[in-house]
Chains A and B, each alone.
Chain A
Amino acid sequence: MSPIPVTIVSGFLGSGKTTLLNRILNTSADMRIAVMVNDFGAVNIDSELIVSQTETMISLTNGCICCTVESDLIEQLTQLIHAPDIRPEYLIIEASGVSNPAKIVNTLRYPQFTGKLAIDSTITVVDASQFADLEGEPAQLAMDQLDIADIVLLNKADIATDAQISAFKQRWSYPGLRLYSTHYCDVPLSLILGTGHFNPDHFDEHHCAAEHDHRCSAHCHSHDHQQMFDTWYWQSQRPLSLSALRQALAELPSTIYRAKGFCQLVELPERSAIVHVVGSRHDIQPGDLWKGEAPVSRLVFIGIRGGIDQDALQHTLDGCIAAQISPIDTDTTI
């Protein structure tokens, strides 16, 4: 069983987290989502959607569930992943307004959850007006929220003043920040949830044939918010250097929000490496053995419309190809 993807949503009280959670829960998402909240007061579920409700869990007609985080997150996560009847396909955890979201990230990385839960994304919802003049503990919490953030949703962008937004960027920005402006958290769900719309397994079914090698690119429209995103594909039969790939992914332009796929690495000749980029964070994990398959690298990039400079990205990724070493040579040198 593949790990359950997890999205963590953090932000101050009043930032718009609740709006976002409601949007997720009340939208038919074609999959069974579980949302963990501190208390049900944090969500406002359309009563027509509710199938049943207990003290700690609400079940919805769309197959989703909403449950409260009891005293111990570790124990509750353990229950959730082992209960066959409620095991969700996707998990969203709300880091309540005052709790430290970094602790939740740490917990999800505990060894007992390896292979069972995988952080897809960490979303921090920001109301720029709340970030003005922060000091002391609230400022420290803001730092923790932004530290773990893969994507920052600048919510209430319609009512924030330009001065507030520029003050926010001035004080809180960091290299690689993905700042997505929105109001009422009306954000394409495929941006914040790794829902599989851009699954590289469907690579060949899309616009790109293998023989194009690393020269293909195409536009693709996401299911929601049509034409807000561009999608671009890259592939290569030649092995990549891990350090070069890491650097390239760390320095992707901030208009690119997600990338996904697999690669062949010089450092990992026998198996593929799974690449996962969300906002400013990238992760490269060992994947399956190549076995009889010809090693290949295939990556999909999703950026805001007009935000993918294909030539520049092509150049960057081509630069990750290890210097003239064939995969067969690497087998004997490593």
Chain B
Amino acid sequence: MNHSDALAASQAPSPGADLVLTNGRIYTVNDAQPWAEAVAIKAGRFIAVGSTTDIAPYINDRTQVIDLDGRFVMPGIYDMHTHPDLALAPEYAGYLDVGIEDPTPEQVKQAMLDYAANAPADAEGWVYGAYFVRYTFKQAGIVPSRAWLDSFLPDRPAAILDRSWGCMLVNSKALELAGITADTPDPRHGYIERDSITGEPTGILVDGAYALIHAAMPPTPAHALQRAYGEAVHFQSGRGVVGTKFVHVCEHRLNALKAIDQRGKLTVRVEAAISWQDDIFPVKRRWELLAGERHFYRSSRLNANAVKFHFDGTHESRSSYLSTAWPGDTRWRGHLNLTPEHITDMVVDMDRKGIRVIAHCTGDGASDIFLDAVAEARRRNGPNGVQHQCAHCTTLLDKNLSRFAELNVIAEFSPVGWYPSSFSYARAVFGEDRMQRAYNFKGVLEAGGTAVMGTDWPVSSFDPWIGFEAMVTRENPWGEEEGRFYGEPIALEQAMRVMTINGAKAMDIDDRAGSIEVDKYADLIVLDRNLFEIEPKGNIHNTKVEMTLMEGQWVWDAHGELDGTEHQAVWQRDLPCF
């Protein structure tokens, strides 16, 4: 215990501080005063930053005083791109789990009937879950088809995923509700299996065709979304995150976030980006939200003043849109999901409304077109518009590095995979030439741009400290593989800015947050190690965050130092395990 609630000071200015942290090694990320020993906080803001002696006068009999005992403190950190709902909510939704390793058709049938008899009310009659095994059907001499499902679930919509084929088996009622008939065109990246002669759907939907059923199903239940986001912000507070962007939301997700906010459990500032496309989940109230309904969710902790879209594809499917052909090809440059004209008009329109556009751009051709669209928005709407955000930035054209600063566009990267591993090298498919300039974090920063990091969970780990280390070392944090990954590492001081003040800038609050300065929000984290006194490799990713303070409120207390006091943290001791 390093605190005292009643350490009075004789010459306290009036009024005294609510909270004083003293005797620390405080790295402020404020160039004018990089280091301090103590801070005084009142009404959620820093009112003094300086030496232990400087701060002593702010202590009165109502001040909570924490003796840091030499511990290292820095501003809270920012995760600028993540998806906890996609990572967690499906498993919390209460869908059917057959729960048998290799279920026979009879066992699948029984599990579906049992579920149907006890289905949760929010399932709206749907029997949806996993899984069946096609091989056990083959062994039983049964063709998995809608006729089989109809034989025991004729009236309620039913859909069950298979274990490994990438297909879903649905009954006639589900097809009817989803509007799938012989005339329905196949979606991209998938197909509706059809009778070869009649063309009628058989009930098997493959890969991308799932989306047709998901669009017809009730949305992910509110309880599952609330649990997912609740656990996510708990984890983030425990890892020192004070600002984050949940990139892709709909009205149901916003409702869940608002419910958590109103319970006082939204312990991270959240910018939520409304999905521009329906490719992940349907957004039925998109236009109402964009027109102004989003403001009903607004609080000091929550805003939905952003829109997210998928401009190009991914490196796995060679659909990232490149400026020239993919390696081994003379023509294929990847795929744009929306036309450049669509992007331009949309960016100009959103910019005018004050809505941030977050554009998924993995290929250097996609980001090039996005930057052109922002340039057009600046030309039409004037130079003082919204900061837009280029997401992932896996490869960038050298000529575009300086445009991030010129056009006031945030370059957001996912550094969690920037270390040698079979996983990351398998993804290095852009060809040696492009990989040499991949993940050009340093290039954007040196050209004066704002670069930030996102964990992009569940694509990569939710723990921002892995990416924090990787951007400084580009080496494997666990020593599993030798050598350095593509791209230039950045200095620790620079990485500190990326993780803190740059994040605040990307949320338009750098005048109020992101560094430890008088009048800014009292956000800080107490660590178990001084990042400037350790070998970065292998020692940043496993940093323990002992305490997290958000606007003067303790939101995380790893050791329960404040237990039983009036200052007890919102979350203590244990982190959710994902």
Which residues of B lie under 8 Å from residue A75 when comparing CB positions? 317-318, 326, 329, 332
User: Are B318 and A72 touching (Cβ within 8 A)?
Assistant: yes
Kindly identify which residue among B138, B141, B326, B328 contacts A147, using a CB–CB cutoff of 8 Å. B138
Does B53 reach chain A (CB closer than 8 Å)?
A: no
Which residues of A lie under 8 Å from residue B190 when comparing CB positions? 110
CA gap between A285 and B102 in the complex, in Å = 33
Counting from the closest, the 3 A-B pairs by CB-CB distance are A143-B135, A147-B135, A111-B186
User: Are B141 and A174 touching (Cβ within 8 A)?
Assistant: yes
A49 to chain B, nearest CB (A): 24
Q: What are 11 pairs between A and B in contact, CB < 8 Å?
A: A72-B317, A75-B332, A79-B329, A109-B191, A111-B186, A147-B135, A147-B138, A173-B139, A242-B197, A267-B197, A283-B196
Which residues of B lie under 8 Å from residue A273 when comparing CB positions? 197
User: Are A106 and B317 touching (Cβ within 8 A)?
Assistant: no
Kindly identify which residue among A74, A78, A286 contacts B196, using a CB–CB cutoff of 8 Å. A286
Which of A72, A146, A242 is packed against the most chain B CB atoms within 10 Å? A72
B283 to chain A, nearest CB (A): 26
Known contacts A75-B318, A110-B191; is-contact A140 B196 (Cβ 8 Å): no
User: Are A109 and B317 touching (Cβ within 8 A)?
Assistant: no
Total chain A interface residues with beta-carbon distance under 8 A:
34
User: Are A286 and B197 touching (Cβ within 8 A)?
Assistant: yes
Known contacts A111-B191, A286-B196; is-contact A144 B135 (Cβ 8 Å): yes
Q: Mark B328-347, 1 if CB is under 8 A from A, else 0.
A: 11001000000000000000
CA gap between A81 and B206 in the complex, in Å = 23
Does B207 reach chain A (CB closer than 8 Å)?
A: yes
User: Are B165 and A102 touching (Cβ within 8 A)?
Assistant: yes
B325 to chain A, nearest CB (A): 11
CB-CB nearest in chain B for A145 = B135
CA gap between A100 and B317 in the complex, in Å = 17
CB-CB nearest in chain A for B186 = A111
Q: Mark B111-140, 1 if CB is under 8 A from A, else 0.
A: 000000000000000000000011110110
8 Å CB interface, B157-203 against A: 163-167, 186, 189-191, 193, 196-198
**Other CB < 8 Å A-B pairs besides A72-B318, A75-B318, A102-B164, 8 of them?**
A71-B318, A75-B329, A79-B329, A102-B166, A143-B136, A242-B197, A265-B197, A284-B196
Per DSSP, are chain A's interface residues mostly helix, strand or loop, or mixed?
Answer: mixed
8 Å CB interface, B291-326 against A: 315-318, 326
Does A186 reach chain B (CB closer than 8 Å)?
A: no
Kindly identify which residue among B138, B165, B328 contacts A106, using a CB–CB cutoff of 8 Å. B165
Q: Mark A148-185, 1 if CB is under 8 A from B, else 0.
A: 00000000000000000000000001111000000000
Which residues of A lie under 8 Å from residue B189 when comparing CB positions? 110
CA gap between A140 and B197 in the complex, in Å = 32
Which of A103, A111, A283 is packed against the most chain B CB atoms within 10 Å? A111
User: Are A70 and B328 touching (Cβ within 8 A)?
Assistant: yes
Kindly identify which residue among A100, A146, A265, A268 contacts B164, using a CB–CB cutoff of 8 Å. A100
CA gap between A176 and B142 in the complex, in Å = 12
CA gap between A18 and B133 in the complex, in Å = 28
* A interface residues with partner B (beta carbon < 8 Å): 56, 70-72, 74-75, 78-79, 100, 102-103, 106, 109-111, 139-140, 143-144, 146-147, 173-176, 242, 265, 267-268, 273, 283-286
User: Are B317 and A146 touching (Cβ within 8 A)?
Assistant: no
Kindly identify which residue among A106, A147, A176 contacts B207, using a CB–CB cutoff of 8 Å. A106
CA gap between A267 and B197 in the complex, in Å = 8
Does B429 reach chain A (CB closer than 8 Å)?
A: yes
Which residues of B lie under 8 Å from residue A102 when comparing CB positions? 134, 164-166
User: Are A56 and B167 touching (Cβ within 8 A)?
Assistant: no
CA gap between A111 and B326 in the complex, in Å = 23
B415 to chain A, nearest CB (A): 22
A114 to chain B, nearest CB (A): 9
CB-CB nearest in chain A for B137 = A147
Which residues of A lie under 8 Å from residue B186 when comparing CB positions? 110-111
CA gap between A175 and B137 in the complex, in Å = 10
Known contacts A273-B197, A286-B197; is-contact A140 B167 (Cβ 8 Å): no
CA gap between A12 and B234 in the complex, in Å = 44
CA gap between A71 and B431 in the complex, in Å = 12
User: Are A103 and B166 touching (Cβ within 8 A)?
Assistant: yes
User: Are A143 and B197 touching (Cβ within 8 A)?
Assistant: no
CB-CB nearest in chain A for B327 = A70
CA gap between A175 and B138 in the complex, in Å = 7
Which residues of B lie under 8 Å from residue A110 when comparing CB positions? 186, 189-191
B134 to chain A, nearest CB (A): 5
Which residues of B lie under 8 Å from residue A78 when comparing CB positions? 332
CA gap between A103 and B317 in the complex, in Å = 14
CA gap between A267 and B186 in the complex, in Å = 24
User: Are B196 and A72 touching (Cβ within 8 A)?
Assistant: no
CA gap between A213 and B198 in the complex, in Å = 28
B480 to chain A, nearest CB (A): 20
CA gap between A144 and B328 in the complex, in Å = 31
Known contacts A71-B316, A72-B316, A110-B191; is-contact A268 B197 (Cβ 8 Å): yes
User: Are B141 and A140 touching (Cβ within 8 A)?
Assistant: no
CA gap between A70 and B426 in the complex, in Å = 11
Which residues of B lie under 8 Å from residue A109 when comparing CB positions? 191, 193, 206
User: Are A106 and B206 touching (Cβ within 8 A)?
Assistant: yes
Known contacts A103-B166, A140-B163, A286-B197; is-contact A56 B328 (Cβ 8 Å): yes
A98 to chain B, nearest CB (A): 13
CA gap between A239 and B163 in the complex, in Å = 40
CA gap between A169 and B328 in the complex, in Å = 45
CA gap between A103 and B315 in the complex, in Å = 18
CA gap between A13 and B240 in the complex, in Å = 47
CA gap between A140 and B315 in the complex, in Å = 28
Which residues of B lie under 8 Å from residue A103 when comparing CB positions? 165-166
B434 to chain A, nearest CB (A): 14
8 Å CB interface, B382-414 against A: none
CA gap between A65 and B154 in the complex, in Å = 51
Which residues of A lie under 8 Å from residue B332 when comparing CB positions? 75, 78-79
User: Are B139 and A174 touching (Cβ within 8 A)?
Assistant: yes
CA gap between A72 and B315 in the complex, in Å = 9
CA gap between A172 and B136 in the complex, in Å = 10
Which residues of A lie under 8 Å from residue B133 when comparing CB positions? 140, 143
Q: Mark B79-92, 1 if CB is under 8 A from A, else 0.
A: 00000000000000
Known contacts A284-B196, A284-B197; is-contact A143 B102 (Cβ 8 Å): yes
CA gap between A147 and B163 in the complex, in Å = 12
CA gap between A175 and B140 in the complex, in Å = 8
Which residues of B lie under 8 Å from residue A147 when comparing CB positions? 134-135, 138, 165
CB-CB nearest in chain B for A171 = B139
Known contacts A72-B317, A146-B135; is-contact A140 B166 (Cβ 8 Å): no
Which residues of B lie under 8 Å from residue A139 when comparing CB positions? 102
Which residues of B lie under 8 Å from residue A174 when comparing CB positions? 135, 138-139, 141
CA gap between A220 and B165 in the complex, in Å = 39
Which residues of A lie under 8 Å from residue B163 when comparing CB positions? 140
CA gap between A53 and B419 in the complex, in Å = 33
Which residues of A lie under 8 Å from residue B134 when comparing CB positions? 102, 144, 147
CA gap between A102 and B190 in the complex, in Å = 14
Which residues of A lie under 8 Å from residue B329 when comparing CB positions? 75, 79
B396 to chain A, nearest CB (A): 21
CA gap between A198 and B303 in the complex, in Å = 68
CB-CB nearest in chain B for A274 = B196
A82 to chain B, nearest CB (A): 9
A185 to chain B, nearest CB (A): 23
Which residues of B lie under 8 Å from residue A72 when comparing CB positions? 316-318
Which of A140, A147, A268 is packed against the most chain B CB atoms within 10 Å? A147
CB-CB nearest in chain B for A143 = B135
CA gap between A265 and B317 in the complex, in Å = 41
CA gap between A168 and B207 in the complex, in Å = 32
B184 to chain A, nearest CB (A): 12
Which of A78, A79, A273 is packed against the most chain B CB atoms within 10 Å? A79
